[in-house]
Amino acid sequence: MCTAISFKTKGAFFGRNLDLEYRYNETVTVTPRNFPLHFRELPEMQSHHAIIGMAFVAEGYPLYYDAMNEHGLFAAGLNFPENAVYMPKNATFENIAPFELVPRVLGQCSSAKEAKKLLARVNILNTDFSKELPNTPLHWFFADKEGSFAAEPLANGLRIYDDPLGVLTNNPPFEFQMQNLQNYPGLSPYEPELIFGSGAGLKPYSRGLGAVGLPGDLSSASRFVRAAFAKLNSLCGDSEEESVTQFFHILGAVEQQRGCVRLAEGKLEKTVYSSCASAESGIYYYKTYENSRICGVDMYRENLDGEKLVSYSLAAEQDVFIQN
């Protein structure tokens, strides 16, 4: 389970919750412009846009969960089981394996508009990274400062949907999620007036009951509604510090606490990490389940013309500030 959002104040911010029952030793990884990106069916990209994001680096290849390039284009892969359909090779399209899609698009495209054009000629292959790392059924969230869209590999090909809300979760497909929002026309952040009595000294009391009817469970459909409500009603200042803080509070509305989602064999799902990438500063911020402090990696402090990946292990132990 996962949730991805885009958020715009004076700047543009993008990120996600990654909800899983395990970790892959993921790191914040910078792919510089001259790191060669290999593809199974396409020519190697020896030069491309620089990329920063959360990745599991396997056999020297950055398997990005979510990432942003130096032009402020963001991409995230979210679990899409029982709906994702990967295809056999098709000579009339650019054939791209699922794990290659994020570096391919972010390496080539400077905007969401360019990404849409590239994806219109893409065929998502049913190709595993390796025997030990088989495909995960995914759909993708793309965003820049101008807008966002969802890309879903379905039986009739890769479908592109404009996403005016700037929100994506998992199943059901995006079209259903948007239709499901019509079930919540009365949601409001304002508090309904409740009168507990009319006797002497009793006054109308209306605190703490905004968003009556907002779904609170951890299903994908409910998280989609809740994330959209929190984002669209969210107010904060325009500074990067205020925006990043508010961004993590929005993701907090849909995070998963360990023990609330129980899987087979006693496995427990949780929000492994939350991320927020700033298009203006190039900083990739994150928090982990174990450490609620906001940490960050600045892509512009790295040599973006380099040829080697740069990876930073996550600060995964709680960091408490004792004030006395």
Cα–Cα dist 125/274, whole Å: 29
pLDDT at 239: 97
Rounded average pLDDT over 228-245: 95
Q: Cβ contacts of residue 81 below 8 Å, gap of 6+? A: 137, 170, 171
Q: Encode pLDDT of 121-167 as tens digits.
A: 999 999 999 999 999 999 999 999 999 999 999 999 999 999 999 99
Q: Which fold has domain 2-183+238-313?
A: Penicillin V Acylase; Chain A (3.60.60)
Tell me the angle at which helices 240-252 and 220-232 cross, rounded to the nearest 10 degrees: 150
Say whether pLDDT at 266 is over 60. yes
Residues acting as catalytic residues: 2
Q: What percent of the chain has pLDDT over 90?
A: 84
Q: What percent of the chain has pLDDT over 70?
A: 94
Q: Encode pLDDT of 179-220 as tens digits.
A: 999 998 878 776 655 434 444 444 444 455 567 789 999 999
* Cis, peptide link before residue 172, omega less than 30° from 0: yes
Mean pLDDT of the chain: 92
Q: Encode pLDDT of 50-99 as tens digits.
A: 999 999 999 999 999 999 999 999 999 999 999 999 999 999 999 999 99
The pTM assigned to this predicted structure is 0.92
Q: Identify the burial level of 81 via C-beta atoms within 10 angstroms of its C-beta, where 0-12 means exposed, 13-18 middle and 19 or more buried.
A: exposed
> Is the Cβ–Cβ distance between 238 and 212 less than 8 Å?
no
Cα–Cα dist 1/258, whole Å: 13
pLDDT at 207: 52
Rounded average pLDDT over 2-28: 94
pLDDT at 24: 85
Annotated domain spans of the chain:
2-183+238-313
pLDDT at 192: 55
Say whether pLDDT at 222 is over 50. yes
pLDDT at 45: 96
